[in-house]
Amino acid sequence: MAGDDAPTPATDPGAAEAIRCADCARSDSLVTGLEPVDRMPLPLEAAAGFPDGVPRARGLSRRDFLRTGAFGVASVYAATRIDWTRAFEAAVASGAEPANHLVMIFLNGGNDGLNTVVPVAEYDAYRRARPNLARVLGPPAAGQVGTAPMPGTGDAHAWASVCVSGPGNNGDTKGLDTLWGDGSGGPGSDLALWPAADYTPANRSHFDSRDYWFAGALEKRTTGWLGRWLDRYGSPDNPLQAVSIDSSISKQIRAAQAPVSAVRALSGVDFRVDRVSTRVGDATEQMAPLAQVRAGRGNAGLARARDVYGRAVQVSRSLRALSGAPTGAGYPNSSLSSRLQLAAILLGAGLGVRVVTIDWGSFDTHGNQLGSQDPQLATLSRALAAFRDDLSARGIEQRVVTVVFSEFGRRVASNNTGTDHGAGGLMMAMGSAVRGGLRGEFPGLSVLDRGDLRVTTDFRAVYSAIVAEWLGGDPSAVIPGGPFPLGGPLVG
C-alpha cells in the first residue's frame, strides 16, 4: 500500500483486495530504510502561487516565510544533518531558474500490461492464453471490460476500455486516450508506450526487480539512479530537489551526498484530543505553554523534548492558517489523486523541485485480477489526465514528464483468477514534451520466453534518454553498463 497509512476512502480502488503472494504481503508493512535527519517546513507563500506559472518563491525571503508559515513538512534525508533555514534559502535560489521536472509513478506489485493495452492483432492467442481474464473485443458487454481503439498502432493494439474516457470508464471525460491523441508523435500525441520494458534475464522476484528498477542497474545498490543524477548534477543544499510523496524516500532518489526529502501530505500536524467538546478538540494551544517551561541547566534531554514540542506547535499554527490550499480539480477520489495534487503544488511552487516519486497501488494480481486491476486502471487513467490539466493550469505542463512503470509484467497465460509474476512490463511516459505513440516493439504472443513476453526495451534505455534529453547530464555517469540506446528520441 506504499505508505498510504492514512485511512483510504472505501472508494479508493488502490485499497481493493487482491489475492497476493505471501512474499509481497511483506512489502505492505512499509518501513523506511533510512531515517530522516531533519524536518523542513514548506513555505505557505510558495504553495499559494498558481495559476500564473511564475515560480512564486522567487524573491521570497526567510522573513516572509516565517511570517506566512508552512503548508507541510518535508522529512529531509541527507548524508549530514542540515539546517532547514539554509536549505530553504537554497530551495528558493534553485527555484528561481525554470527547469525540466520528472515525475516517476511506480505501480506497486507488477502491473499486467496485456490487460491494459490489449494486443488485438493477436486476439485469439491472447484469449486462449487467458480465457477467464480476456477483454471482450469492442465496447464493454455483459459486465466485461471491452477494448477501445488506439490510433496509430495499425489496429494492432487497443486500450482496455477502463482506461479511456467515455462509457467504458464511468462516462468520465478523461482517460489515457486524451493523452494518446492520434499516436503519431506529433502535437497532441503526448503519451509514449513501451509495451515490453524490463531487463534480461528477468528475475521474477518483486524485491530484486524493484531494486534493479530503482537502482537503474541489475544489482542492488545503495544509491538510486536519480540519486546518482542528483549527486552529480543536482543541488548540494536543496532537499526539495527530489521529493517522494510518501512517509519515506523512494530508493530511486537515494543519494550518496545530495539531500532529498519525503512529504507525506499537506496536513496532519496537530495535537488533537478525541471525544471532547469542539471548543477544546485541539490541544495545540494548551501545549504551547508546556513547551515553554524552561529545563534546568545542562538537561539536554528535557530541553530537546520541550523544544521539539514547541516547534510542532508552530508548524501546527501555520497549517491552520492555510485553510483550503489551492489544489487542482477533476481528479478521481483516490490517494493517488491527492498525491498528484500535492506534486502539482510542489512542482509549481518554485522551490527547485526537479524530481517527484510516487509509489502507488496494489497490482500483484495473482487472484481476483479483474476486481483489483480494473478499478485501479480507471483511477490511474483519470488521475493522469487530471494531473495534466492541473499542470497546464499552473503553466508548467510543458516542463513536466511523467513516467509510469512497474517492477515487472505478468505471465501471458492466466492462472485461476489472476496472473503470476512475469516479464516485459508496460512503461509509459507522458507530457506534451514527450514524443508520443508506440515507441517500443511489441514482441508478440507467438514466441514467448518461459511463458513471458520477450523484453524489447531495456528500461535503462528510457532512463538514459531521460538523463540525456530531459534532466540533462551524461547517462553513462548515472546508469552503469551502458550505453542503452532507446532507438529514437524521448522528447520532441
Among 58, 127, 232, 306, binds other proteins (CB under 8 A): 306
Q: Site for other proteins (CB under 8 A): which residue of 217, 269, 336, 461?
A: 269
143 forms part of the interface with other proteins (CB under 8 A):
no
Site for other proteins (CB under 8 A): which residue of 143, 301, 324, 492? 301
**Closest separation in Å from C-beta 6 to other proteins:** 11
Q: How far is the CB of 382 from other proteins (least distance, A)?
A: 30
Written as one string, the DSSP assignment of 265-324 is -S-----B-SSS-GGGSB-HHHHHHHHHSPPPTT-HHHHHHHHHHHHHHHHHHHHHH--S
Among 79, 256, 276, 321, binds other proteins (CB under 8 A): 276
Q: Which is nearer to other proteins, 276 or 321 (CB)?
A: 276
* Cα–Cα dist 211/196, whole Å: 19
Give the residue among 250, 381, 268 at the shortest CA–CA distance from 315: 268
Give the E-state strand segments of 347-433 in sequence order: 355-360, 400-406, 425-430
Would you say 273 or 329 has its CB closer to other proteins? 273
Residue number, 301 or 324, with CB nearest to other proteins: 301
Q: Which of 62, 86, 128, 304 binds other proteins (CB under 8 A)?
A: 304
Rg of the chain over Cα atoms, rounded to whole angstroms, equals 23
Distance CA 274, CA 280 (A): 10
Contact with other proteins (CB under 8 A) among 73, 158, 412, 462? 73
Least distance to other proteins from the beta carbon of 303, Å?
9
Q: Closest distance between other proteins and the C-beta of residue 35, in Å?
A: 5
Q: Does 1 bind other proteins (CB under 8 A)?
A: no
Query: Nearer to other proteins by C-beta: 25 or 137?
Result: 25
Only one of the segments 93-101, 115-123, 264-272, 424-432 lies at the binding site for other proteins (rule: CB under 8 A); that segment is 264-272
CB of 307 to other proteins, least distance (A): 9
Is residue 231 a contact partner of residue 461, using CB atoms and an 8 Å limit?
no
Residue 66 near other proteins by CB under 8 A = no
User: Least distance (Å) from other proteins to the CB of residue 204?
Assistant: 16
Number of residues assigned to the chain = 492
CB-nearer residue toward other proteins: 19 or 295? 295
Any contact of residue 79 with other proteins (CB under 8 A)? no
Tell me how far CA of residue 402 lies from CA of 139, 180, 355, 360, 370, in angstroms.
Answer: 29, 14, 10, 14, 26
80 binds other proteins (CB under 8 A): no
- Which residue, chain included where needed, has cell 506529433? 186
Contact between 142 and other proteins per CB under 8 A:
no
> 245: which DSSP letter?
S
280 binds other proteins (CB under 8 A): yes
Q: Which residues contact 245 (CB under 8 A, 6 or more apart)?
A: 262, 263, 264, 339, 342, 343, 356, 357, 358
Binding span for other proteins by CB under 8 A among 49-57, 109-117, 292-300, 482-490 = 292-300
3-state secondary structure 174-231: CCHHHHHCCCCCCCCCCEEEEEEEECCCCCCCHHHHHHHHHHCCCCCCCCCHHHHHHH
CA atoms of 402 and 358, how far apart (whole Å):
11
Decide whether 318 or 337 has the Cβ nearer to other proteins: 318
User: Any contact of residue 315 with other proteins (CB under 8 A)?
Assistant: yes
The bridge status of strand 457-458 relative to strand 191-198 is parallel
- What is the smallest separation between the CB atom of 5 and other proteins, expressed in angstroms? 7
Query: Binder to other proteins among 142, 143, 171, 275 (CB under 8 A)?
Result: 275
Among 10, 142, 300, 447, binds other proteins (CB under 8 A): 300
Q: How far is the CB of 288 from other proteins (least distance, A)?
A: 9
Return the ∠ at Cα 355 (arms to 340 and 225), rounded to 5°. 125
To which residue does cell 511552487 refer? 349
Residues 29-58 touching other proteins, rule: CB under 8 A, are: 29, 31-36, 38-39
Nearest distance from C-beta of residue 460 to other proteins, angstroms: 25
Report the C-alpha gap between 14 and 206 in whole angstroms.
Answer: 18
The residue from 143, 279, 446, 492 that contacts other proteins (CB under 8 A) is 279
Number of residues located near other proteins, criterion CB under 8 A? 51
Instruction: State yes or no: cis peptide before 201, omega within 30 of 0.
Output: yes
> For 61, which DSSP code?
-
Q: How far is CA 456 from CA 126, 441, 485, in A?
A: 19, 6, 12
The interface region with other proteins, picked from 164-172, 194-202, 300-308, 353-361 by CB under 8 A, is 300-308
Kindly identify the residues of this chain, within the stretch 3-32, that bind other proteins according to CB under 8 A: 5, 23, 25-26, 29, 31-32
Q: Cα angle at 110 between 134 and 203, to 5 degrees?
A: 115
Which residues sit at the interface with other proteins, rule CB under 8 A? Answer: 5, 23, 25-26, 29, 31-36, 38-39, 73, 75, 268-277, 279-280, 283, 286-287, 289-291, 293-296, 298-302, 304-306, 308-309, 311-312, 315-316
